[in-house]
């Protein structure tokens, strides 16, 4: 079991809140991590078990008696009926850390919890393994902000195909601990289970399973692009309303994330459409039928999947430390774009991702656009494939992608 950055965040929040909710897509190690961190007397129950789910839904008071805290309740989204009784229990016992909950349907859960458990629950988001977790340096991961002192970072250089192998394999713990063995079998099974177990509960897609699978693939090959419902729905043969519903299902299941544009001083020239990113590059590559790291690196998705990987690593650096990631992008009607903008403390940090070992000043030519927002502009960065950091000017540096 690889150590996770978020472990410290879980322990800290469990001492301050009676309820802890850990959300994220299936198979990223939520319940395994809780099992590793739990005290000997903490019980465990999964609502994937139909008998326990039935009890939780139809007799939640008895369920709480049977699984008296401290307790881990896995996949709690299946029984929102529990929340009122959890509230009654924590209000009467007034002890932090009594309930550890996991869920793979984030947005539904948060809506229910905000109505029932507001002020009593710490909500933490979890993704797959970060690069620092994979190399067994989980506590070196800090919320990513570009700084000129990153020039001193000196990690071991990486070959091009080593990076694309990491991207191609993805970040699911079961794959990582087995060195990517049986990758295709894992992702095939994952998708079948996902459609069967989660999508059927959220949608009535009986008879449309193949269309939904094709829909996920159509989204995967568009990772890192502006979200175009009309384009996707035309390709799959569904209406735009259905496409929007299905995107929401992917989003609340933790499969994709919509990245909003930055426009705190909006003008008519700024594009308001979000970009869409898959939250695991291995699953994304599998769906896009990239059958090897070499095919992925040489194919039409090479730059966008590198950008997707950088985006996910930035998210992990924040979420696994219990922090909100205030990350956006910029694009205007003149096609000027900045891949990412991080806002922190009234300062904005521009970020470009380039598949190159020789970044140039041309790669940062759009950074000046941020002056229109009348905010302080912090250190900029070009995340790339260089072997070591390099200053591009006095305020911008090039940074190897594995240094995020």
Helical spans, DSSP H, in 320-394:
none
108 pLDDT band, cuts 50/70/90, is low
Q: In what order do the strands lie in the sheet with 43-46?
A: 43-46, 71-74, 99-103, 19-23, 121-125
Q: Confirm if 97 and 368 have CB atoms less than 8 A apart.
A: no
- Is residue 382 within 8 Å of 392, Cβ to Cβ? yes
* Residue 206 confidence (pLDDT) above 70: no
Question: What residue ranges do the domains of the chain occupy?
Answer: 6-125, 131-403
Strand 396-400 versus strand 121-125 pairing type: unpaired
Cα 114 from chain centroid (whole Å)? 21
Dist. CA 138–CA 316, nearest whole Å? 11
Max CA-CA distance within the chain? 65
Residue indicated by tokens 């000997």: 40
Average pLDDT for the chain: 93
Distance from C-alpha of 356 to C-alpha of 349, rounded to nearest angstrom: 21
Kindly indicate the confidence band of residue 277, based on its pLDDT and cuts at 50, 70 and 90.
very high
Contacts of 50 (CB under 8 A, 6+ apart): none
List all residues 6 or more positions away from 379 whose beta carbon is below 8 Å from its beta carbon. 145, 146, 147, 148, 349, 395, 396, 397
CATH of 6-125, one of 3.40.50.1820, 3.30.930.10, 3.40.50.300, 3.30.470.20: 3.40.50.300
Characterise 180 by phi-psi region: left (phi > 0), alpha (psi -120 to 50), beta (else): left
**93-106 pLDDT tens trace:** 999 999 999 998 77
Query: Which positions ≥6 away from 84 have C-beta within 8 Å?
Result: 60, 116
pLDDT at 266: 56
Tell me, what's the pLDDT at 343? 96
Rounded CA-CA distance 200/209 in Å is 9
Q: How far is CA 216 from CA 80, 114, 169, 173, 188, in A?
A: 27, 29, 18, 22, 13
More confident residue, 116 or 149: 149
Which range (162-166, 207-211, 222-226, 311-315) has the least confidence? 207-211
Whether the Cβ atoms of residue 278 and residue 304 lie closer than 8 Å to each other: no
Is this structure's pTM higher than 0.75?
yes
How would residue 107 be classed by pLDDT, with cut points 50, 70 and 90? Answer: low
> Residue 104 in 3-state DSSP?
coil
3-state class percentages of the chain: helix first, strand second, coil last, to nearest 5: 45, 15, 35
């Amino acid at each position: 079991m690889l150590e996770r950055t978020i472990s410290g965040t879980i322990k800290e929040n469990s001492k301050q809140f009676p309820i802890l909710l850990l959300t994220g897509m299936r198979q990223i190690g939520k319940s395994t991590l809780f099992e590793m961190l739990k005290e000997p007397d903490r019980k465990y129950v999964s609502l994937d078990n139909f008998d326990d789910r039935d009890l939780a839904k139809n007799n939640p008071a008895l369920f709480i008696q049977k699984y008296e805290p401290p307790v881990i309740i896995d996949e709690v989204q299946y029984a929102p009926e529990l929340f009122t009784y959890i509230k009654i229990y924590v209000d009467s016992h007034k002890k932090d850390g009594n309930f550890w909950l996991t869920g793979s349907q984030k947005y539904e859960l948060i809506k229910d919890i905000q109505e029932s458990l507001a002020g009593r629950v710490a909500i933490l988001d979890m993704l797959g393994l970060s690069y620092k977790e994979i190399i067994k340096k989980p506590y070196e991961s800090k919320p990513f902000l570009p700084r000129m002192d990153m020039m001193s970072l000196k990690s071991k250089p990486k070959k091009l195909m080593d990076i694309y192998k990491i991207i191609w394999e993805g970040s699911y713990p079961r794959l990582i601990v087995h060195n990517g063995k049986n990758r295709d079998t894992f992702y095939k099974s994952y998708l079948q289970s996902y459609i069967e177990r989660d999508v059927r509960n959220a949608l009535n897609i009986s008879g449309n399973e193949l269309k939904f699978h094709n829909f996920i693939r159509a989204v995967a090959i568009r990772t890192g692009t502006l979200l175009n419902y009309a384009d996707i729905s035309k390709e799959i043969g569904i209406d735009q309303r259905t496409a929007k519903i299905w995107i929401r299902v992917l989003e609340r299941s933790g499969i994709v994330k919509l990245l909003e544009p930055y426009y705190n001083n909006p003008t008519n020239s700024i594009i308001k459409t979000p970009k869409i990113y898959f939250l695991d590059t291995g699953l994304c590559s599998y769906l896009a039928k990239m059958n090897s790291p070499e095919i992925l690196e040489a194919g039409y998705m090479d730059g966008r999947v590198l950008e997707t990987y950088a985006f996910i690593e930035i998210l992990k650096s924040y979420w696994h430390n219990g922090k909100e990631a205030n990350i956006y992008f910029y694009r205007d009607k003149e096609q000027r774009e900045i891949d990412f903008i991080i806002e922190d403390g009234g300062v904005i940090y521009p970020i470009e991702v380039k598949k190159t070992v020789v970044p140039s000043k041309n790669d940062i030519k759009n950074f000046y656009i941020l002056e229109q927002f009348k905010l302080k502009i912090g250190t900029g960065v070009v995340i790339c494939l260089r072997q070591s950091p390099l200053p591009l000017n006095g305020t911008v540096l090039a940074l190897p992608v594995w240094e995020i």
